[in-house]
């Protein structure tokens, strides 16, 4: 289970930290990489709030904290 949780996190972190270099390597403007990165952040923010509200409603916060402790 830890493998299923850590691999996507590592991939997302790598993509986030190297977004501009990946886009520049493809021959696009680095400003486009920054634009894509900002769109990603703007699209993830509402979903994070929504998931947090669902977690509170379902009383899943202790479970989430236990999983994140590992």
Ordered by start, the domain boundaries in the chain are 2-69
First to last CA, the chain: 11
Q: What is the pTM of this model?
A: 0.53
CA distance 42 to 54: 20
C-alpha span between 14 and 23 (Å, rounded): 13
Share of the chain above pLDDT 70, in %: 83
The two tokens of residue 18 are 């190297």
pLDDT tens for residues 52-65? Answer: 777 777 777 676 67
Q: What is the mean pLDDT of the chain?
A: 80
* Cα separation, 4 vs 18, whole angstroms: 22
Distance (Å, rounded) from C-alpha 22 to C-alpha 51?
Answer: 30
């Amino acid at each position: 289970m830890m493998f299923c949780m850590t691999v996507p996190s590592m991939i997302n972190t790598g993509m986030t930290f190297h977004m501009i270099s990946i886009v520049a390597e493809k021959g696009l403007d680095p400003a486009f990489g920054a634009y894509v990165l900002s769109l990603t952040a703007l699209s993830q923010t509402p979903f994070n709030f929504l998931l947090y509200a669902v977690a509170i409603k379902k009383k899943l916060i202790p479970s989430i904290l236990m999983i994140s402790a590992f």
